[in-house]
Amino acid sequence: MSSVELPHQQPEPATSLIPTLPGAHYTDPALFEREQRRIFQAHWFAAARSSDLPDPGAFRTVDVGGESVLIVRGRDRSLRAFLNVCRHRGARLCVEDSGAVRRSLQCPYHAWTYGLDGSLIAAPNLNSMHDVDRGEYGLITVALREWLGTVWVCLADEPPSFADSVQSAVTGRLGDDEAIEEWGIDELVVGRRITYDVKANWKLIVENFMECYHCATIHPELTEVLPEFADGYAAQYFVGHGAEFGEDVGGFTVDGQSSGFDKLSGVGADHDRRYYAITVNPQVFINLVPDHVIFHRMYPMAVDRTVVECDWLYPRSVIDSGADLSKSVELFHRVNQQDFDACERCQPAMSSKAYAAGGVLVPSEHHIGEFRDWVADAISD
């Protein structure tokens, strides 16, 4: 896992500069609409943390690919996802972002009433309509999987293989099928959640996350903790490579001096004092450090606006001890702010004549070309 070439040993590419997507891909609402259907509705989408819905009746509504998806925990404690649309006249069932219902999901318009399993329980005068088969008028189900303590939904009629898409993105980056289990992410607890409303296209955020050419310029704290980031090669440039903490660094904390918390019990010695980063297309970033995990879910809201929900995850023992998380959280919170500021700086320029044909990727950013091609393929005819 850790026996990976050092950045300076990377072979020189034949061409130093390769193109990005053209500017219109970051500004054209019609292209965004196409992405919503071809990418966000077609792939598994990390919609929530399972623990956001602790008890029967707890729900969250999430925008996925332009659809409102309602995730609810049933009386059998299973999570289910539905299109948030009443089958009668189409009213939105739940308008709140999150909450809890007592027993049923009831449309506020005509009181069509659905069980937490989506079945139609009751509606005014329904008993007089003898020809109506209630089974045909339950809520429309959306595919749902839970993995890494995360609720993944897919709007496709035939969702892609979860193993071949989500799980292979994670294992492919770590270079090992089992490695991710070491962090025990499904058992970790949300110690802090910060939601960022970023005025930038979602792809600017993905592309930013994938490269570290900017690290030495905009991330002084991060580069202090991970000195090799000053060379501009992100952990994601490699397979199975974790960026090593600096020799005198105490932990993954904002000042690098504070020690952070005990290493997670499952993390092996070869993953200790290292930072791993994973992108799961199209909207998840996972950051692994020895004592916690930082999990980003992106929610594209418009061509020029993306909401990012970021969870800092710790063992329950750390949370229950009342430990001060601030130095631990502050490091990546600053990184997020620095990154999102950069993305917001780019967004207005995406519609400039100067950027009509797009920009360029330097060698340490060439792996972004794979993402660029993945997007282009997904939306092409």
In angstroms, give the least distance from the CB of 180 to another protein: 42
107 versus 225: smaller Cβ distance to another protein: 107
In angstroms, give the least distance from the CB of 102 to another protein: 9
Instruction: Select the residue interacting with another protein from 77, 89, 103, 345 (CB under 8 A).
Output: 103
Instruction: Select the residue interacting with another protein from 111, 140, 239, 376 (CB under 8 A).
Output: 111
User: Using CB under 8 A, which residues numbered 269 to 288 contact another protein?
Assistant: none
The structure tokens listed for 202 are: 């979602």
In angstroms, give the least distance from the CB of 60 to another protein: 23
Q: What one-letter code names the amino acid at 90?
A: G
126 versus 218: smaller Cβ distance to another protein: 126
120 versus 350: smaller Cβ distance to another protein: 120
113 versus 338: smaller Cβ distance to another protein: 113
Contacts of residues 366-370 at CB distance under 8 Å and 24 or more positions apart, as own/partner, are: 366/13, 366/18, 367/210, 367/211, 367/236, 367/237, 368/20, 368/207, 368/210, 368/211, 369/18
Q: Please tell me whether residue 108 binds another protein under the rule CB under 8 A.
A: no
Q: Report helix, strand or coil for 66.
A: coil
* Helix or strand holding residue 171 (H, E): helix 168-174
The stretch near another protein (CB under 8 A) out of 125-133, 237-245, 288-296, 337-345 is 125-133
Number of neighbours of residue 324 by Cβ within 10 angstroms: 9
75 versus 345: smaller Cβ distance to another protein: 75
Q: Please tell me whether residue 125 binds another protein under the rule CB under 8 A.
A: yes
User: Using CB under 8 A, which residues numbered 127 to 156 contact another protein?
Assistant: 127-128
Do 114 and 72 contact (CB within 8 A), yes or no? no
The structure tokens listed for 73 are: 């925990």
The structure tokens listed for 339 are: 């990154």
The stretch near another protein (CB under 8 A) out of 105-113, 147-155, 196-204, 291-299 is 105-113
To which residue do tokens 């020690």 refer? 259
Closest CA to 98 of 138, 38, 45, 58: 58
Q: Please tell me whether residue 105 binds another protein under the rule CB under 8 A.
A: no
Burial profile 74-85: b = 16 or more Cβ within 10 angstroms, e = fewer:
eeeeebbbbbbb
The stretch near another protein (CB under 8 A) out of 116-124, 159-167, 313-321, 339-347 is 116-124
Q: Please tell me whether residue 121 binds another protein under the rule CB under 8 A.
A: yes
Interface size with another protein, residues (CB under 8 A): 13
Q: What one-letter code names the amino acid at 121?
A: I
Instruction: Select the residue interacting with another protein from 29, 124, 268, 369 (CB under 8 A).
Output: 124
Do 40 and 64 contact (CB within 8 A), yes or no? yes
| Sequence-distant (≥ 6) Cβ neighbours of residue 371 within 8 angstroms | 203, 206, 207, 210, 279, 281
To which residue do tokens 């993905």 refer? 206
Catalog residues that contact another protein under the rule CB under 8 A. 103-104, 106, 111, 113, 121-128
